[in-house]
Structure 1
Amino acid sequence: MSRSGADLALLLLGGYRTLVDAAMVELAARGYDDFRPVHDFAMRAIGAGADSASDLGRRMSVSKQAASKTIAVLLDRGYISRESDPQDARRKRLQVTPLGFEVMRQGEAIFDDLRKNWEEQIGVAELATLEARLKTLIGEGAIRVDEPGWAAQDLG
């Protein structure tokens, strides 16, 4: 039976979704039940230098208003802080807090565990082959986790 290109895209998306959903369940079990995937994207963008709502919105390909709402949630939950800019006291910069870095470390550890689970299911060699083939097809630097908005970009 031949599969379509759309089937392949859905399988890849399903793999991503399976891993992310399992990670969110485990993060909740570890006490981070208020954390969502978009929060990780936002905090990684902030860690990479997005220090305002406008900059975060550009990096995530969302409106300034949507970025502001995400910032408000992350500030309220203690995952980021707003600090005075040492170069310009009138300006406030966003920074990831120790709690924010901890939840990201927890998430990374969970993804490592999920990878081990897949390794146990299909075997070390099979998973290594899958990863190698995906790298061949998409390249090493194809995905930047601090810029998830690629799906919303206007290519026309």
Structure 2
Amino acid sequence: MAVDELHKELGKVGFDDVRPSHGFIFQKISHGGSTGKELAEHMGITKQAASLTIDYLEERGYVIRQPHPSDQRGKLVVLTQRGWDCIQATETIFTSIQQRWHEVLGEERSEALLTDMRKLVHSSMDAQAFLFRPVW
């Protein structure tokens, strides 16, 4: 529900070509970039699938491949300004959605719900599950 609303709103502000799975990539590379192999492992997909996804995002101006600083053969995938702008728009939209939830449920109940959801997520996680990745 919230993800559908997010992507509808992202489309209205010029980001109609991003998909929910792209957010996991943006989050991963927002901390200094990642290699295609690292993205494949993070997403739980093949290196070929990761490469196709990186191509898609690069063609649309969200990411670029740069020389890897410590591996002359490797490339590092990093966000462009358009990628950062998409993240900022996502944060703004999610804040708006959360504010609406606060208005509907009330501040106290809304915060309690978020706390309860965090507890449920953390109670079912092992160390590997703390990766912010899709569950295909």
TM-score normalised by L of structure 2: 0.85
Superposed CA RMSD in Å reads 2.2
Q: Distance in 2 between matches of 1:65 and 1:90?
A: 17
Q: Distance in 1 between matches of 2:6 and 2:105?
A: 19
Equivalent residues, number: 133
Counterpart residue type for residue 55 of structure 2: A
Counterpart residue type for residue 116 of structure 2: R
Identity in percent: 32
**Which portions of structure 1, spanning 4 or more consecutive aligned residues, are displaced by more than 6 angstroms?**
none
Q: Distance in 2 between matches of 1:61 and 1:108?
A: 25
Instruction: Provide structure 2 residue ranges, at least 5 long, that are not aligned to the other structure.
Output: none
Q: 1:136 aligns with which of 110, 114, 119?
A: 119
Determine the structure 2 residue equivalent to 1:41.
24
Q: Distance in 2 between matches of 1:61 and 1:40?
A: 14
Instruction: Provide structure 1 residue ranges, at least 5 long, that are not aligned to the other structure.
Output: 1-17
Superposed CA deviations along residues 21-66 of structure 1, whole A, max 9, x for unmatched, are: 0000100001111111111111212224562222111011111121
CA positional deviation for 1:146: 3.6
Structure 1 pair 135/92, CA: closer, same or farther in 2 (3 Å)? closer
Counterpart residue type for residue 45 of structure 2: V
CA positional deviation for 1:85: 2.2
TM-score normalised by L of structure 1: 0.75
| Residue 25 (str. 1) matches residue 11 (str. 2) | no
Could you say what secondary structure the match of 2:118 adopts? helix
- 2:35 touches 2:74 (CA, 8 Å); kept in 1? no
